[in-house]
Amino acid sequence: MNNLEKLFYFRGVSAEYLNYSAERIVVPHEIRVKLLEAVGYDVTDDEAVAQAVYELDALPWKSWLKTFNILRSGESEYLDIRVHPEEKTTSISYQITTEAGELLEGELTPAELPEVGEYYIDGIRYRAHRYPLAGLPLGYHQIVLSNASRKEQAVLAVVPPKCFEIGNGHSDRLWGINCQLYTLRSERNWGIGDFSDLMELIAGSASVGMDVVALNPLHALDMSAEDFSSPYSPSDRCFLNPLYLDPERIPEFWECQTVVSQFRSPACQKKLAALRGLTHVDYRGVAELKYPVYEALFQHFLAQEIELRTERAKAFDLFVQQRNDSLTRFSQHESRLDFQSLGVSRGTSTDPRFHQYLQWLAQQQLQQCQTLALECGMSVGLMGDLAVGAVKEGAEVQGNAELFCDAATIGAPPDPFAPQGQNWNLPAPDPIALQRDNYRHFIELLAANMSCVGAIRIDHVMGLLRLWWCLPGLAGGAYVYYPFEDLLAILCLESHRNNCMVIGEDLGVVPQELRSRMAATAVYGNKVFYFETTHDRQFKPPQDHQVDAMLMVTNHDVATLAGWWNLADLSLRAAMGLVDTVNELPDRLRQRRADKIRLLAWLRSQELLPESWLTDNSHSKVEQPFDISLCGAILRACARSRSRMMLFQLDDLQLLEEPVNIPGTHREYPNWRKKQAIETKALFKDSQILALLASTYRERKQ
């Protein structure tokens, strides 16, 4: 293997992969070279390539420890120490400072320890020796090694073997609802679903015995962008979108007479009513209404709390201190953006404290939602959603520029749904940079997203193992591999530190290595009902579903039940030119008709087909419009799934046809804007819906 091939290997640039048809695809050499160039290597300079290989492969052996060392509690509680031959018989002292501040000391002599590896550098044989180090508490600890001539410091991460699990493992069948928070309607919100609407949804869901309410990503968006609607194109995944705040639940709101007077004015009430009445969220209209109020409340907070050093001011200061550098970077980035177009004065928008104040309030209101869920008896409460990346112009990438490759983006290789492949236009994280930073950013991401929820769904969990890198102006791409075992170990640790279950979105082409490790570490899979079929397209019996998984009846990327049955999804795609109406659409319609017949047969086999749908000839029923009885039958059948968790979409209770999002579209369709048809309060007063939920509960829990 020449040095260039070695560099490909150490940088994780794949040479081949299996596509959706299990065909072996060889990555063109020129694409692999371009990926190395994208992360800063001059592949035309042989000496530079050789030096890069040396730094990635040999140089670490000249240090006693890796900078970040993982000990698996109860499994592999040991430290591998690499030494020069002259140090083999030399005593090395160590000091371990735990997170709690406890100091542990000891000495070791490498020659007395088992040898577990070797590496030759310039003819010198370096050895790795294994030192047992059991009994340390879970967490991130600091270790210092020293002898008469050397001293090194490193991180010891002591991790559990598996992620946190709620309840009695597989015997406890969880269920709940998934929705996009911004879609919620109420008589009091400001044109967008907010945290108070979420509390109303939680109360209603808990009242019928649900365990979980799953949400879209709540990440902070780039408010200076032309379009800031997509929750999967965030500015910073460590922070929250202030548009989800309920202004009226901010303590300063009713104390600030100027705000109260403006709020009660006919003009404001008219604007609020107009925004509430829209079928789709007007993000800019909502922002232009909320942000001037936020500014007034912030100024009131400065005058009445910060200047007087009240207990509330001290609580704010503590929040800022706890979020440390990440909040500082975020708030400084936000202070450089143009919020004047949203009605905020330059003096306020350029003050980092304004943006810190909004994050403080948002975290408080989100935490109140999770507290309510648990108080109402939910075993999980909220399920958060961690997006796979952040936009280039956003706070996360700009504040951690050294961790991202700005010359490459991530996406997906070609498949039947996207024959040209996908480019999500999100900067690619640099795996070597992540390692050299001791995974600081990854830890911050997990901690921030797990802090106020009982479970988290990781979008495109394959990214822990590999990501598809795209290069601007160049067709094709390649997989780049990441330090999977390290990232998985950190995920297990943060899961326990935050008492948070983990679900990995593993739809699509997934390497068996990933699935095996997910199963071994209690990272649950993510299934969608439409795709739970056998090789001949028959719907699987519920008892054949994967146990350690979350079954979603529908989600934000697929058609609603009504849209699927009534063919509205195919009509929409045809109208937007995404389906060839001459050559492709007729085949899809025939296939859908066959799938609908299979669905009716599946329900009949479960003895759940409603009377109004019973017939000796299923073909005669496929043209019958979707209704609440068929919806209820599908939910009841899915509730029988042996999968640990089952979720259904709020939209399906209302028989909505219009989807939340159509993958592959941008301007063709108003993605991430559609609202629910009726208010949340009305949903849980509807006798048909309550009967449907009660029957679903009985199937799931009894």
Checking DSSP bridges between strand 645-649 and strand 549-552, what pairing results, if any?
Answer: parallel
User: Amino acid letter at 37?
Assistant: E
| Class of residue 212 by CB neighbours under 10 A (exposed 0-12, middle 13-18, buried 19+) | buried
Helix (H) or strand (E) holding 296: helix 283-301
Q: How far is CA 448 from CA 164, 193, 323, 345, 456, in A?
A: 16, 22, 9, 29, 11
Say whether 342 sits in a helix, a strand or coil: helix
Q: What is the mean pLDDT of residues 592-604?
A: 96
How far is Cα 480 from Cα 411, in angstroms, rounded to an integer?
A: 11
pLDDT at 582: 87
Residues 6 or more apart in contact with residue 4 via CB below 8 angstroms:
43, 49
Please report which confidence band the pLDDT of residue 595 belongs to, taking 50, 70 and 90 as the band edges.
very high
Kindly report, residue by residue over 81-139, the tens digit of the pLDDT.
999 999 999 999 999 999 999 999 999 999 999 999 999 999 999 999 999 999 999 99
pLDDT at 421: 87
Please report which confidence band the pLDDT of residue 169 belongs to, taking 50, 70 and 90 as the band edges.
low
pLDDT at 76: 87
pLDDT at 118: 97
pLDDT for residue 426 is more than 70:
yes
Do the beta carbons of residue 280 and residue 185 sit within 8 Å? no
Share of residues in the chain with pLDDT > 70 (%)? 99
Q: How far is CA 672 from CA 112, 278, 285, 578, in A?
A: 62, 14, 15, 19
Residue 559 tokens read as 């058609």
Q: What are phi and psi of 575, to 5 degrees?
A: -65, -30
- Of 395, 182, 181, residue with least CA distance to 287: 182
User: Amino acid letter at 48?
Assistant: A
Q: What is the mean pLDDT of residues 288-299?
A: 98
How far is Cα 464 from Cα 514, in angstroms, rounded to an integer?
A: 9
Q: What are phi and psi of 115, to 5 degrees?
A: -90, 130
pLDDT for residue 623 is more than 60:
yes
Taking all residues of the chain, what is their mean pLDDT, rounded to a whole number?
A: 96
How far is Cα 132 from Cα 113, in angstroms, rounded to an integer?
A: 9
How far is Cα 437 from Cα 316, in angstroms, rounded to an integer?
A: 29
pLDDT at 578: 86
Please report which confidence band the pLDDT of residue 5 belongs to, taking 50, 70 and 90 as the band edges.
very high
Kindly report, residue by residue over 317-346, the tens digit of the pLDDT.
999 999 989 999 999 999 999 999 999 999
Please report which confidence band the pLDDT of residue 618 belongs to, taking 50, 70 and 90 as the band edges.
low
Taking the CA atoms of the chain, what radius of gyration do you get in angstroms? Answer: 27
How far is Cα 609 from Cα 502, in angstroms, rounded to an integer?
A: 34
How far is Cα 332 from Cα 354, in angstroms, rounded to an integer?
A: 10
How far is Cα 442 from Cα 425, in angstroms, rounded to an integer?
A: 20
Q: How many helices (H) and strands (E) does the chain have?
A: 23, 24
How far is Cα 127 from Cα 111, in angstroms, rounded to an integer?
A: 10
How far is Cα 216 from Cα 605, in angstroms, rounded to an integer?
A: 34
Q: What is the mean pLDDT of residues 256-265?
A: 96
Residues 6 or more apart in contact with residue 270 via CB below 8 angstroms:
none
Please report which confidence band the pLDDT of residue 167 belongs to, taking 50, 70 and 90 as the band edges.
confident
pLDDT for residue 202 is more than 70:
yes
Do the beta carbons of residue 409 and residue 423 sit within 8 Å? yes
DSSP string, 540-582: PPGGGS-SSEEEESS-TTS--HHHHHTTHHHHHHHHTTSS-TT
pLDDT for residue 234 is more than 90:
yes
pLDDT for residue 620 is more than 80:
no
Structural domains in the chain? 3-57 (no CATH), 74-159 (2.60.40), 181-375 (3.20.20.80)
User: Amino acid letter at 81?
Assistant: I
How far is Cα 245 from Cα 198, in angstroms, rounded to an integer?
A: 11
pLDDT at 327: 97
Residue of 383 and 583 predicted with greater confidence: 383
Kindly report, residue by residue over 673-702, the tens digit of the pLDDT.
999 999 999 999 999 999 999 999 999 998
How far is Cα 84 from Cα 64, in angstroms, rounded to an integer?
A: 9
Residue of 298 and 616 predicted with greater confidence: 298
Q: Biggest alpha carbon distance in the chain?
A: 88
- Of 46, 67, 54, residue with least CA distance to 4: 46
Count of CB atoms situated within 10 Å of the CB of 518? 24
How far is Cα 309 from Cα 318, in angstroms, rounded to an integer?
A: 12
Q: What is the mean pLDDT of residues 306-313?
A: 97
Please report which confidence band the pLDDT of residue 171 belongs to, taking 50, 70 and 90 as the band edges.
low
Residue 654 tokens read as 């209302």
Kindly report, residue by residue over 139-150, the tens digit of the pLDDT.
999 999 999 999
Beta bridge partners, 236, equal: 220
Q: What are phi and psi of 215, to 5 degrees?
A: -120, 165
The pTM score is 0.96
pLDDT for residue 617 is more than 90:
no
Q: What is the mean pLDDT of residues 615-636?
A: 89
How far is Cα 170 from Cα 642, in angstroms, rounded to an integer?
A: 8
